[in-house]
């Protein structure tokens, strides 16, 4: 009976241990000359799919994947992932032979913010508007969870003439310890040098690479798509930064958690002009106050941008684009843009319609010398049309690699055809038909999405 009672006591103790988890004191480990905290990785050997982990004062081996697996991959936190593991970014990456390989695929369920030309913006839910401010703005920001700093993307707008602006340098705020700045050079080419926490890193033209600094590895993956630099953050925010445009993709898991001048992401454009306070403002194709009064970034370099009562966009007005030409000149630009875009996309009239109004607006600015250029007007018009050629080709390639889940002629275009002189308002957005039904947003601390490396 005593033995039986003793066995019951042991079993009860095991149950308590199982319910309470580790009951041993937290003890760090010595690994070489370094001290490793309990539960942290001391060393990773991805070639062998093995990690050395500190456990209660002892460094122990931990294997990943199946028996005899080799060629695992590391993320920025030195966590190992097994071969064929697929990280669910909007541009997915897969662990292949020890390297993270980006797929030729864009998840159609992701919301896409597109910014191109002279400050034309399409929100994550598909509403389109123009903004010619010259401050630093919050493009997207992820709701903070558990008092942690939120992930965000900021962009500084730069004047290229008396009135016209373009988006210049972009700051990718992945976490409080990973702040990346990307820029273009004087020739409008994306720089291979990125700034990570004040230090320089060159992103190689081939392969996908974890971002690193003197502090170590960071949970952001960087790679090139032709002339565009792509950053994948650990919160699943994807940035593609190109010579004449940029895109931000947000996965459906973050629906309801993202705000900024790219809109309140929830597959419904009616509340895209949501302020940081939560107030919903009226949608306008040429807003006066939405970006300026509600989404200026905390850090500003220009004095007027620190005054919340000053609006910096000269062209914007609630009734239309104040910088747009009228009459015969406007018709000439409409014909020029229509001819150029039609040659590029002869079988895609809705793509032509999508970019027609922005193209005409940009040529209007150029013809009024609202854009500084040193060549003749006719030569610069050709340059503007070339810019739209690059944007349209990129759009076509995105369309080609994305499964068609909606109208086959439209794919990810969620907008009505724009009018050349005053764009029509778009106030509803639909989730692609084959996307999974909605689910509550998850907190960043619970996401299982590494930003990965190739080394």
Q: Let me know whether 124 and 12 are in one domain.
A: no
Q: What is the pLDDT of residues 341-395, one digit of tens each?
A: 888 777 778 888 888 888 888 888 887 777 777 777 777 788 888 888 888 778 7
Q: Let me know whether 358 and 238 are in one domain.
A: no
Q: Let me know whether 264 and 227 are in one domain.
A: yes
Q: Let me know whether 157 and 241 are in one domain.
A: yes
Q: Let me know whether 46 and 141 are in one domain.
A: no
Q: What is the pLDDT of residues 269-285, one digit of tens each?
A: 999 999 988 999 999 88
Q: What is the pLDDT of residues 21-51, one digit of tens each?
A: 455 568 889 988 889 898 888 888 888 888 8
Q: Let me know whether 175 and 265 are in one domain.
A: yes
Q: Let me know whether 237 and 120 are in one domain.
A: yes
The answer to whether position 44 is within a domain reads yes
Lowest mean pLDDT: which of 133-147, 199-213, 238-252, 260-274? 133-147
Specify whether the CB–CB gap between 276 and 264 falls below 8 A: no
Give the confidence band of 436 by pLDDT, cuts at 50, 70, 90.
Answer: low
The answer to whether position 82 is within a domain reads no
Q: Let me know whether 255 and 126 are in one domain.
A: yes
The answer to whether position 432 is within a domain reads no
- Give the dihedral sign, CA 407/409/415/421: negative
23 is in which domain, residue-wise?
1-64
> Per-residue pLDDT for 148 more than 70?
no
Q: Let me know whether 186 and 116 are in one domain.
A: yes
The answer to whether position 417 is within a domain reads no
The answer to whether position 394 is within a domain reads yes
Q: Let me know whether 369 and 301 are in one domain.
A: no
Q: Looking at the 3D structure of the chain, how many domains does it have?
A: 3
Q: Let me know whether 391 and 302 are in one domain.
A: no
The answer to whether position 32 is within a domain reads yes
Lowest mean pLDDT: which of 16-30, 255-269, 401-415? 401-415
Q: What is the pLDDT of residue 312?
A: 76
The answer to whether position 160 is within a domain reads yes
Give the confidence band of 8 by pLDDT, cuts at 50, 70, 90.
Answer: very low
Q: What is the pLDDT of residues 74-91, one digit of tens each?
A: 888 888 888 889 988 999
Give the confidence band of 434 by pLDDT, cuts at 50, 70, 90.
Answer: low
Q: Let me know whether 164 and 288 are in one domain.
A: yes
Lowest mean pLDDT: which of 53-62, 125-134, 189-198, 403-412? 403-412
The answer to whether position 433 is within a domain reads no
- Give the mean model confidence (pLDDT) for residues 109-129: 93
């Amino acid at each position: 009976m005593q033995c039986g009672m003793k066995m019951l006591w042991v079993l009860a103790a095991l149950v308590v241990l199982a319910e309470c988890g580790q009951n041993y004191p937290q003890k760090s480990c010595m690994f070489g000359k370094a001290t490793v905290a309990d539960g942290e990785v001391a060393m990773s050997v991805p070639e062998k799919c093995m990690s050395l982990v500190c456990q209660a004062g002892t460094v122990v081996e931990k294997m990943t994947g199946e028996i005899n697996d080799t060629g695992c991959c590391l993320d920025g936190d030195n966590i190992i992932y097994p071969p064929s593991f697929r990280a669910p970014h909007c541009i997915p990456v897969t662990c292949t032979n020890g390297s993270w390989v980006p797929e030729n695929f864009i998840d159609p369920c992701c919301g896409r913010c597109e910014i191109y030309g002279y400050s034309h913006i399409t929100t994550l839910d598909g509403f389109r508007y123009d903004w010619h401010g010259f401050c630093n703005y919050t493009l997207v920001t992820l709701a903070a969870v558990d008092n942690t700093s939120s992930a965000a993307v900021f962009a500084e707008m730069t004047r290229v003439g008396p009135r016209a602006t373009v988006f210049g340098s972009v700051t990718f705020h992945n976490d409080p310890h990973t702040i990346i700045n990307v820029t273009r050079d004087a020739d409008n080419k994306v720089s291979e040098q990125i700034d990570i926490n004040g230090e320089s890193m060159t992103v190689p033209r081939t392969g996908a690479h974890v971002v690193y600094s003197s502090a170590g590895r960071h949970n952001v993956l960087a790679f090139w798509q032709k002339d565009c630099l792509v950053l994948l953050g650990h919160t699943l925010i994807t940035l593609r930064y190109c010579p004449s445009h940029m895109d931000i993709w947000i996965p459906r898991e973050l629906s309801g958690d993202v705000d900024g001048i790219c809109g309140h992401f929830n597959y419904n454009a009616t509340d895209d002009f949501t302020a940081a306070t939560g107030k919903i403002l009226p949608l306008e194709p040429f807003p006066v106050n939405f970006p300026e009064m509600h989404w200026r970034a905390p850090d500003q370099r220009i004095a007027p941008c620190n005054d919340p009562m000053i609006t910096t966009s000269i062209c914007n007005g609630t009734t239309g684009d104040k910088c747009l030409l009228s009459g015969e000149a406007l018709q000439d630009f409409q014909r020029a843009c229509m001819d150029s875009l039609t040659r590029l996309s002869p079988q895609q009239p809705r793509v032509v319609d999508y970019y027609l109004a922005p193209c005409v607006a940009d040529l209007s600015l150029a013809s009024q010398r609202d854009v500084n250029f040193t060549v003749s007007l006719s030569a610069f018009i050709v340059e503007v049309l070339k810019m739209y050629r690059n944007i349209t080709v990129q759009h076509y390639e995105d369309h080609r690699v994305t499964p068609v889940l909606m109208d086959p002629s439209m794919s990810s275009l969620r907008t009505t055809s724009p009018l050349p002189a005053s764009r029509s308002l778009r106030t509803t957005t639909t989730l692609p038909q084959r996307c999974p039904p909605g689910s509550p947003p998850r907190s960043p601390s619970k996401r299982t999405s590494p930003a990965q490396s190739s080394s």
